[in-house]
Structure 1
C-alpha cells in the first residue's frame, strides 16, 4: 500500500478552523510528519509588512488557540510552517518537488455560483502535483461514515490497471479501518461498443444484451479477483471485519460514480487520475475531471507511480 509519512497541508488566508483541527487529528492518529504552508498578504495592506518570523509566530499562536489542546500545542511549537507570498498552489508544488512529501491536503474551494467542488487552485493542484492530493471539505462529518473507491478495470493509457486498482482499494481499507467506516468499491461499465456493433447484427437487441452481460461478468470477475488479493494481504478476519461492498454499475462513468457518491452518502471518495495522451501538463482524465466537478464530498486523488507529470518541479 502507498504509505503516507510526510504530509503538507495548504491553508488559504481565512482558513477554516475545522480544517486545521481535522488535519492535526489525521496527522496525530496516523503518527504522520506534518508541515503547513499558509498564504500571506502580498504588497501593501494589513499584514504585508510583517516579517516572516513574526507571521509564523502569529500563526502558531492562532493554531494553539484553535486546537484547545495542550498536547497539540506542544507539537505545534515544533511544526514546520512555510509562508507563501505568491500563489499558494504553485509554491506548494515547488516545495513538493524539493522535499519528500507523499500527500498534500488542502481545503476544497467552493464556488457557490457554480455549485461545484473544484476551484482554479484545486484544478491546478490536481493536475500538477506529483503526489496524492486530498481535497478536504470542512463540513464532511468526522469520523468518516462512508468511503467509496472508484475502480477502473479497463486498460488505461498507463497500461494494465491491476496494481493501481489494488493500491486504491488498499487505501480504502486503511481509511475505513481508521474510522470504522462503511467501504464501497464501485466500478462502472459503458455499453458504447455494444450499441455500435449491434447495428450490424440481425438481432441487435439480443446482441447488445449479450455484450452487456459479458462486460458485467468481466467487471464482476475483476472485482472478485481484487477482493481475493486484499484478503490475502490483510487477512481474512480483518477483511471480513471491514466487509467492503462491491458495486458494478452500467452507464456513463462520471455520471454513475457521482450518483453513487450521493446514494451512499459518501464522505471520502478515493480515485485515480490518468493523463490525457498528447496534452502537455494535463494529468487528470476526462472521467476524473467530470466527476470531481460534480461531487461535494472530500476527495483523495492518486496518480499511477509510472505517470510522469509534465511541468512539475523536480
Structure 2
C-alpha cells in the first residue's frame, strides 16, 4: 500500500506538475503527502528568514490551490529546506522517514558530464520514484511494465517481482489496462549492419519468450494483462511500445549504477527515460 508520499517540488517545473500528480494519487491511494521545496545554499550569501518564509508561503498557496478541500489538512505537510545538495538531503530524509513513494517532475537536461537530480535520486534511493510528466490520464489508462523474465540474477529477479507488485497495485487502484513487455536484447551494431532483423528475431523467439513471461507472472494474479515481445535495445524498443499503446505510465527497474560507472555507462532505466514522454515509475534494487 502507498501510505506516505514525498513530493519534491521545483520552481522551474511547469504548472506544478509534481503537486498535481500527487493530488491525482493521494485520494485513491489514501496517502499522506509531504511536499518539500528547496533553496540552494550559497556560501557567499546567507539565506534570510524572509526568503525562507516567502518560499514557504508560495508553497502553501500552491498546495491550497491544487488540493483545495480534497484532503484533510492534517494529511498534507510542507517544508522549505536550505541545502547545497538536494539529493543528499532527500536520501538522508528518506532513511529516517517511511515513505512509500517519491514524486518529482521530470528533468530532461542530461549530458555526459551532468547528471540531473532525478537520475541521482533514482540511483541513490531505495524508495520507488515516480518521474511525473504533464500527460493527462485517460478514463481507462494503460500501464506498461518492462521486465526481464530470462534473468538468473537474484537482484534482477527481485526487481521483476517488485515491478509486477507495483503494476498490480496501480492497475487495481486506477482500473488500468496492464501491458507487460519483454525486450529481447539485440545490439545496435547487429541491427545497424542489418545482420539481424529485429522484428523477425522477436517473432522467431516469441513462443519461448511468452512462456517465460507467463511463468514470471504466474504468482501475481494480474488483471487485464496483455503481453508484448519485442527485440532491440531497450532504450528504443520500450519507448516505442509505450508510444504505440499511448501508455500513461511505464514501470521499470533500476540497478542504481553510481560513480564513474554510472556516469559512463548509465543505467538501462535512465536510457529508456531519455526517450519517454510519459510518467515513469522506477523501482530501485535493494542494496
Q: TM-score, normalised by structure 2?
A: 0.78
**What CA RMSD, in Å, does the superposition of the two structures yield over aligned residues?**
3.6
Instruction: Give runs of aligned pairs for residues 38-77 of structure 1, distance below 5 A.
Output: 38-40=37-39, 42-43=41-42, 48-50=48-50, 52=52, 55-67=55-67, 69-72=68-71, 74-75=73-74
Q: How many residue pairs end up in the alignment?
A: 272
What is the match of residue 209 of structure 2? 219
Query: Would the aligned equivalents of 1:143 and 1:179 in 2 still touch at CA under 8 Å?
Result: no
Structure 1 unaligned spans of 5+:
196-203, 232-238, 309-314
Whole-angstrom CA distance in 2 between matches of 1:102 and 1:280 = 28
| 1:160 shift after superposition | 6.5
Q: Which structure: larger Rg?
A: 1
Instruction: Give runs of aligned pairs for residues 1-314 of structure 1, distance below 5 A.
Output: 3-15=1-13, 16-40=15-39, 42-43=41-42, 48-50=48-50, 52=52, 55-67=55-67, 69-72=68-71, 74-75=73-74, 79-111=77-109, 120-141=116-137, 145-155=141-151, 158-159=153-154, 161-190=156-185, 213=204, 215-231=205-221, 239=222, 242-276=223-257, 286-305=267-286, 308=287
| 1:21 shift after superposition | 2.8
Query: Would the aligned equivalents of 2:250 and 2:281 in 1 still touch at CA under 8 Å?
Result: yes
| 1:301 shift after superposition | 0.5
Whole-angstrom CA distance in 2 between matches of 1:75 and 1:277 = 37
Whole-angstrom CA distance in 2 between matches of 1:10 and 1:210 = 42
Relative distance call for 1:144 and 1:89 in structure 2 (3 A) is: farther
What is the match of residue 198 of structure 1? none
Q: TM-score, normalised by structure 1?
A: 0.72
Query: Would the aligned equivalents of 1:37 and 1:81 in 2 still touch at CA under 8 Å?
Result: yes
| 1:72 shift after superposition | 3.4
Residue 50 of structure 1 aligns to a residue whose secondary structure is helix
Whole-angstrom CA distance in 2 between matches of 1:174 and 1:181 = 10
| 1:149 shift after superposition | 0.1
Whole-angstrom CA distance in 2 between matches of 1:41 and 1:30 = 32
Whole-angstrom CA distance in 2 between matches of 1:261 and 1:51 = 42
Whole-angstrom CA distance in 1 between matches of 2:258 and 2:16 = 40
| 1:110 shift after superposition | 3.7
